[in-house]
A and B are shown apart, each in its own frame.
Chain A
Amino acid sequence: DAGVTQSPTHLIKTRGQHVTLRCSPISGHKSVSWYQQVLGQGPQFIFQYYEKEERGRGNFPDRFSARQFPNYSSELNVNALLLGDSALYLCASSLTADQPQHFGDGTRLSIL
């Protein structure tokens, strides 16, 4: 079992750019959630997708968007990057939207 895989592991961008982060869930898992973890803080919920539909959205600006593909993988997109977007972005998958989540290692995004 490869677990939840995220790519890339590290990424450096500059202010104003956009970024796409990718997540492959555990095989058979149909729900994917995204979290932002700023240094020194706990993770904060951004989105949850289940069966390609948005199930929940956290308190993040519209610059953040996501989607889930037919193979249940997911992308998180962030536009007009700000310095404050520097964080570890975690993806978690679960069998359904109501089952326990399994986390990936995250993508560390640095904004210069």
Chain B
Amino acid sequence: AQRVTQPEKLLSVFKGAPVELKCNYSYSGSPELFWYVQYSRQRLQLLLRHISRESIKGFTADLNKGETSFHLKKPFAQEEDSAMYYCALGNSGNTPLVFGKGTRLSVIA
């Protein structure tokens, strides 16, 4: 069965501190992994995909197939990073099929 687990419902960090949002997945095939973000009063939007191997707004995520993880990291948190973050899993292309429950990141000034 396809499953995405985000163990933290809420993560609070101070501005300038490193951030790591955890994501573990369960999938028998070759997964496509995504991070989506929803800022306050905005729509859900794609932050990054594992196949792009890019850094968006200072965030990076590496797919670790051995640990079945796709943690989202940023070395120095900023107040504008405060948002709801969802990890998602798909099987091909850009269509996420299963989302985690989300982690609310709060960056404290």
Contacts and interface: CB of A to CB of B under 8 A. Distances in A.
Real complex partners, A and B? yes
Contacts, number: 53
Most buried by B among A43, A58, A94, A105: A43
Interface stretch (B59-67, B70-78, B95-103): B95-103
B86 interface: yes
A40 B97 CA distance: 17
A33 B44 contact: no
B104 to A, nearest CB: 12
Interface in B84-101: 86, 88, 92-101
Interface residues of B, number: 19
Contacts of B19: none
B45 interface: yes
A18 B93 CA distance: 32
A56 B44 contact: no
A100 B94 contact: yes
Contact of A103 (B45, B100, B101): B45
A58 B101 contact: no
B11 interface: no
B4 interface: yes
Contact of A44 (B44, B49, B92, B98): B98
Given A41-B101, A42-B88, A97 B43 contact: no
Contact of B44 (A43, A45, A58, A97): A43
5 contacts: A42-B98, A42-B99, A42-B100, A42-B102, A98-B94
Interface of A: 3-4, 33, 40-45, 48, 56, 58, 90, 94, 97-105
